[in-house]
A and B are shown apart, each in its own frame.
Chain A
Amino acid sequence: MKLKILIASLTSCSGCISSVLSSDIFPQFLERIKLSYFPFISDENKIEECDIALIEGCISMDSQIELLKDIRNNAKKVYALGTCAAFGGILSLSEKKKAGAISDVVQIDGIIPGCPPPLKLIGNCLIRLIENKEIKLSEKNLCSSCPLRGNNNIPFEKPVNKLNPSNDELTIFNEKSNCFLDNGILCLGPITREGCDHICIEQGIPCEGCLGPVSKDYTSNLINFLSLINLSKDLTKYKGIFYRFSKPKIGW
């Protein structure tokens, strides 16, 4: 019996679904499962009973809440695909519209975070889904596998006053043991889950935290982290800099 899978998208840029479609494993995945509902590529628009539902995007309309509840009732397991579905994403910052993570409305069984989720992570998760296992994410933070990780560790002494390295500085971040934070550049790696392929960091862009927190909630981690570094006053537009991927639970 093939697994029945449903892939739905709510308010989103469809980047996560595009990533799923473009992953190496997707053709094999298609062979092993039966897609019951996937409005992105098929006209079938009836929600049937299924084994797994992957939801992309955040909730911003009442009709989406209805849809989501319908899916929850029909699916054995519901997973949030991408940062918008998992944490609310950039749209949740909107002050006029109410937008939030799908877990605000229904119970979910797991998340596949990332903006969009890294291809390797998607591949691993799809394999586990086919095998009918729980999705397993790393329990460590980004630093543990960071390509810039140095050996000696007396970290974060310099004042942090930049968001990105300047052009001249870019070359030094190609070498090991040149942590962004040690050089006064804000990087959210310590409070972000491990699991991406470090695409940003390898290009000289510090981590922005799209994979979300490992434990506790994002705001707690953020405040704890900021209390330890010497953050410059220029970087105090907290909403814009730090809350790109989620809205704090207790609201503004």
Chain B
Amino acid sequence: MNIYSILSHPFRRKILLLLEREGFIPYTDLMEKLGLAQTGQLNFHLKKLGSLISKDKKSYFLTEDGKRVLNIISLNKRILSGEELEYLDKRGNIINRIGVIICDCNTEISNVINIEILERYIAKLNDVVSVKKFDNLCQEKNLNKITSWAKQNFLNKVVIAACSPKTHQHIFERIFKDVIEHTNIEIANIREQCCWVHDSNLEKFSADLILKKVELLIEAGIERVKLQKEVQIKTVEVEKACAILGGGIAGMTLALNLSKAGIKVYLIEKSPTLGGKVARWHRISEMGDCSICFTSELIGEIVKEKNINIFTNSEIETISGEVGNFTIELIKKPRYIDEKKCTGCKQCVNVCGKEKKNQYDFGLSYRKVIYIPFQNSYPYIPLIDHEDIEDCLDCRICERACINNAINLNEKPEKVRIKVGVKVIAIGADFSDNLKDYNYNPQNNIITSPEFERILSSDGITEGKLLRISDKKPVNSVSILQEVGPSKLISDYSEILAQKYIEDIKIRNTKCKVNVFYDLSKLSDKDQILLRSTNPKFIYANHISVKSIKDINYVVADDTEFLSDLIVLNLKYIPNKDLKNLRKYMDFSLDDNGFMSRETLASGIYGVGTIFGPLNYKSTISTTNQTALEIIYLLSNDYLVSEFTGIKINEEKCGLCGLCVVSCPYNAIIIGGDKINIDKFKCKGCGSCVSVCPTNAIDLNIDTSKKILKTIEIFSKFNKKPMIIAFCCKSCGYAAADDAGLKKLFYHPNVFIIKVPCTGRIDTEFILKSFECGFDGVMVIGCRKDACRYIDGIQKVQKKVNLLKKVFGPRLSNRIIVENLNAVEGAKFANAINKFYNVLTEEIRFET
């Protein structure tokens, strides 16, 4: 009795299931339940069921054998429905029920090979449940046929022998969408890689050889799909909110953009007011607009937005979570004045008896301990700095002066917890502060550019008049020293700034002489050429120094002395000093100049403004808008799915040597202390880390090393020399092979193509394994050198190949080649293979 042939028909299975459910069923009822009209059909099936069922006077029922068989079926069902999978997984078993589809592609395949022989070969392979031939798999009309075939055979994995996955993978995945996991679909490219390029009718390739190649391509696909394990998918629910650190121009513009797109924004500013540095400037270069008018307008718009929550005077304490779901704890420093009660009448400021230097005028003016930073600051409510509370006289006069009882000198810091999907760093840059060489002394009229802005600004130190700080006398000569700061950083805006100053000075005092000095010794050769302006006021000298005789200052340019009433040091930007502190909470590294490096930002973290280096106003706004789009795109997802095509790390094997970190082009692997972490959203799945791991602790979820090694083994069954293996990267090499196929360019069938995500994925082990398995030559076909899809994969494999050739000398020098092709160079691809074939034939003849 052959149980499988009994069970092969759905009617017979149905009869068994009916009998199991109802126990005893008379003949006529059975006919009705099965929906049969003729007795002959039922008689046939009942006879076929043999000893599985029995009959008493009236009804049919299951025998002990039948019950046992049904048990097996139901176990099978449970296995297939996934109930038992976990249990089996623990025991290291994978149930494989593989179906193979051969698509004839309108006789394109059967023109070249005998599909019947192929079917017979495939059906004999282990774990193959069913082989089915379709004329045109990609057409909609086959959809129902295919899904019912898959369901009837309880398939959980499928190998499709058809055309290139590059063009059709998504179609096939859609066909099996609800039936089979798309990781369990493997495509054997028998059209572009075989039937279209080795047609035996036209060229003198033997038909047997081509058939063998097709067989091996499909067999390798079967072996690969067998090795596919379930991929764990992790989803993160996206918190549709964004935290922005820094309430300067960049931070505010971004907040406004995001809020208008419907995203909740938390704007967190360390200082007591929004506005950042620009709010203190006199006007913005090339804009003609006075900066405070502009910022106050922007602040006004932000305040109107309901989606924006503003936290001034607040700092970050801790950050946890991952992209899509961060939790941030803030400390709101006390203002000592209740924001809700205060009306901003400034009575308290008027009565306060203690003065301090005003940091918003860079210490050039004085303010009260209780103060409002500047006109148009937001919120327009006085405060006492947390650090200043010690200096407070505790006279409590302000308390009495306040009509609204808004003052509370005992206020304590407050903790706030927020949840966001992304974080943005917009804390800007600082100014260079190493000014020893320039006799910097504001009281002696040698000032910095920010201080000069405060002189020009109408709410500043001199209320906008051009006066000397020391004696408040009018200024008749100004010298502007450019590029003051660490030598390597060149700021493209310094020239614009100098021009702005020249204009502003002219408006205030038409007779005032202005000179702009560049110290060439502090610039690189390239910059020296770039900087040369035709403006006669710009003076370039090889050495510039500042000479002070009592209270008279000179700028000495080479040998010429320039008398200056006011010397302005045009400062360069340096990295924000808070960046180092921020690195405790966020993953990013610093570039050579100490600014934030954009490439190293972990996913879910963005930066805008001058944290990446000096930027002028317009570029700040445009990069901010671009970042806003990226954030809106990310937050428009309800869920983020991770760990799909990327890598997984087995921590039991990982020795934390860091080779993967060196290899990763995206900085997606982070080793901190004794832990290794993958940034799943940064990982693009190129697999170059996998190729260098010495302990096999890392593997890709889909293109595993085991699969590739097994594929090499299967291909080595091809027994016509010279055997060639070609590793093709999926973006260029594989596409070039497809192109050769589409153009029907013939090449020798002795070549076997293995698809890798990137040529950087190619482990030396694969190459050596190929030689061990009997291959005569190895080709690596990847992107062009400067156009690698994964930055430098092709260089990585080139290095490995070069080293292999060096270590093994002449033995391998002609046996491995690396080709750089792009997706339309099918002709080059076919040529390269034919050429390599000839070289290897020659080599083999020489050896024997």
Binding site for B on A (CB under 8 A): 139-144, 149, 151, 153-156, 189-191, 194, 213-217, 219-228, 236, 238, 242, 248-252
Contacts and interface: CB of A to CB of B under 8 A. Distances in A.
A143 B655 contact: yes
Contacts of A226: 803
A86 to B, nearest CB: 17
B658 A155 contact: yes
B663 A228 contact: yes
Given A223-B764, A227-B796, A144 B655 contact: yes
Interface of B: 652-659, 661-663, 671-673, 691-692, 694-697, 763-765, 768, 771-772, 796, 799-800, 803-804, 806-809, 811
The 7 closest A-B pairs by CB, nearest first: A144-B655, A141-B655, A220-B765, A140-B655, A143-B657, A190-B657, A215-B696
Nearest to A190: B657
B695 A140 contact: yes
Which of B652, B692, B771, B800 has most A Cβ within 10 Å? B692
Which of B657, B661, B771 has most A Cβ within 10 Å? B657
Contacts, number: 113
A250 B691 contact: no
B809 A252 contact: yes
Contacts of A154: 661
Nearest to A151: B673
Nearest to B808: A252
Contact of A225 (B652, B692, B697): B692
16 contacts: A140-B695, A141-B655, A153-B658, A153-B671, A215-B695, A219-B764, A219-B768, A222-B807, A223-B800, A224-B800, A227-B796, A227-B800, A228-B663, A236-B806, A250-B771, A250-B811
A222 B692 CA distance: 9
Nearest to B673: A151
A215 B764 contact: no
Contacts of B657: 141, 143-144, 155, 189-190
A58 B768 CA distance: 23
B764 A224 contact: yes
B793 to A, nearest CB: 12
Given A144-B655, A190-B694, A225-B659, A216 B799 contact: no
B768 A249 contact: yes
Contacts of A242: 807
Contact of B768 (A189, A190, A250): A250
Contacts of B696: 214-216
Contact of A143 (B653, B658, B691): B658
A65 B662 CA distance: 44
A154 B669 CA distance: 11
Contacts of B663: 228
Contacts of B799: 227
Given A215-B696, A220-B765, A224-B763, A140 B653 contact: yes
A20 to B, nearest CB: 27
A216 B762 CA distance: 13
B407 to A, nearest CB: 48
Nearest to B661: A153
B804 A224 contact: no
A223 B694 contact: no
B586 to A, nearest CB: 16
A139 B694 CA distance: 10
Nearest to B804: A223
B651 to A, nearest CB: 10
A141 B764 contact: no
A53 B827 CA distance: 59
B658 A144 contact: no
B658 A215 contact: no
A227 B803 contact: yes
A251 B655 CA distance: 29
Contacts of A251: 811
A228 B807 contact: no
A142 B655 contact: yes
Contacts of A238: 806-807
Given A224-B692, A238-B806, A156 B768 contact: no
A221 to B, nearest CB: 5
Given A141-B695, A250-B771, A224 B656 contact: no
Nearest to B669: A153
B814 to A, nearest CB: 15
A167 B822 CA distance: 52
A141 B796 CA distance: 22
Contact of B654 (A144, A225, A252): A144
A141 B657 CA distance: 8
B800 A250 contact: no
Given A220-B768, A236-B806, A250-B772, 18 more contacts: A139-B652, A140-B652, A141-B695, A143-B655, A190-B657, A190-B659, A214-B655, A214-B696, A216-B694, A217-B765, A220-B765, A223-B800, A224-B694, A227-B796, A228-B692, A238-B807, A249-B768, A252-B808
Contacts of B771: 250
Nearest to A243: B807
B798 to A, nearest CB: 9
A156 B658 contact: yes
Contacts of B806: 236, 238
A191 B764 CA distance: 14
A140 B654 contact: yes
Given A140-B695, A153-B658, A227-B800, A220 B764 contact: yes
B6 to A, nearest CB: 43
Which of A153, A155, A189, A225 has most B Cβ within 10 Å? A153
A228 B659 contact: yes
A252 B810 CA distance: 9
B602 to A, nearest CB: 15
A236 B802 CA distance: 12
A217 B657 CA distance: 18
Nearest to A141: B655
